[in-house]
Amino acid sequence: MSIKGLDVSEFQGTVDWERVKAAGYGFAMLRAGYGFGTVDKQFHRNASECNRIGLPIGVYWFCYAVSPQTAVQEADGCLGTISGYRVDYPVCYDIEQASVAYAAGEGVTINAPLAKQIVTSFCNRVEEKGYYAMFYTNRNFLDTYLGSSLPERYAFWYARYADSFDGTDCGIWQYTSQGSIPGISGDVDLDIGYVDYPAAIKAAGLNHLDGSSPAPSPSPSPSPDYITYVIQPGDTLSGIAQRYGTTVSALSSLNGISDPDLIYAGNTIRVPENGGSGSSGAQYYTIQPGDTLSGIAARFGTTVSALSALNGISDPDLIYAGNTIRVR
């Protein structure tokens, strides 16, 4: 089996999907977004148009995760973005050298074990929510970071720009980034599909093609004794302790931290609620995918400036799903 396909993002601008379909392309992989909930500017239009004309689509999300926990957050952001669209092809995680470079800039070294954990965490979350999981990368990244076991576990979208296929076991081969097809101005990535994913996904009852909705992600339920916090780039344990009215020793004890100077962006730690004092009055909220600080402020009858001051937030536009903030 060999099916002509393409993949696009906002960089292709406004696509004339009817011309693309008329040119004989049988599927499209659409970038839904990247990182912590950033949606591709053309995704909703692309998905709507493809659904309208009956061109099967899959989606991909570019990895900026620095830990397994943040990979799950990215999966939740992706699934929230694609909800409501018909997706006949897999939900794919795009991880490559730029993902490693981003993590390095955030102070996190991505080695082979961590890269595998990140991909596995994203794909497992996708499967948990009833979708068909896939990952994308190139030969160098596969050999350096992921190895042969992941393509055996999850569907694999393989990037290798060449005139002929090298026989790598994959479901989709991306063979050029300089394609030219009707309906798209400029270069576009072109692919060949080797698996009838619409049939496989339908037969497996995945991707909610029956009209059902994914089960909502359970809201994090901190215990009565602690809340959770996702460490951000530049955080120190002493700074977190000061923000939440507790101590470095309390945080170290609660989280099994032997060296307070060694904490990593993306990891989730537990923070004693109310500083561990047992006092009442403070109220906390765990940020959900899609939340904005202004929306949270409106929900709790406060202001963005008040939340920023209460939580040491310097940029109100940069909040992260999974973090717990104080709202009162």
pLDDT at 222: 41
With beta carbons less than 8 A apart as the criterion, state whether 325 and 311 touch. yes
Give residue 51's domain range: 3-204
pLDDT at 57 over 80: yes
pLDDT, mean of residues 93-99 = 97
Last residue of a domain, one of 142, 169, 204: 204
How many residues comprise the chain? 328
Please state the domain count of the chain: 2
Quick one: which of 60, 54, 69 has its CA closest to 33?
60
pLDDT at 265 over 80: no
In a domain, 98, yes or no: yes
pLDDT, mean of residues 229-245 = 81
85, 180: one domain: yes
**Angle (nearest 5°) at CA 71 between 268 and 80:** 110
190, 243: one domain: no
Q: Using pLDDT thresholds of 50, 70 and 90, give the confidence band for residue 38.
A: confident
Integer CA distances (angstroms), 263 to 56, 66, 89, 235, 313, in order: 44, 13, 38, 8, 19
Q: Using pLDDT thresholds of 50, 70 and 90, give the confidence band for residue 224.
A: very low
Least confident range of 29-38, 224-233, 300-309: 224-233
What CATH number is associated with residue 277?
3.10.350.10
In a domain, 71, yes or no: yes
What CATH number is associated with residue 24?
3.20.20.80
pLDDT at 242 over 50: yes
In a domain, 161, yes or no: yes
Q: How far apart are CA 199 and CA 56, in angstroms?
A: 11
In a domain, 218, yes or no: no
25, 97: one domain: yes
233, 197: one domain: no
**Token reading at 275:** 């500083």
Q: How far apart are CA 302 and CA 295, in angstroms?
A: 10
In a domain, 149, yes or no: yes
What's CA 158's distance to the chain center, in Å? 19
Q: What does pTM read for this prediction?
A: 0.68
51, 179: one domain: yes
59, 159: one domain: yes
pLDDT at 289: 66
Q: How far apart are CA 303 and CA 294, in angstroms?
A: 7
With beta carbons less than 8 A apart as the criterion, state whether 307 and 327 touch. yes
pLDDT at 221: 43
Least confident range of 136-150, 217-231, 285-299: 217-231
Across the chain, what does the average pLDDT equal? 87
182, 231: one domain: no
pLDDT at 77 over 80: yes
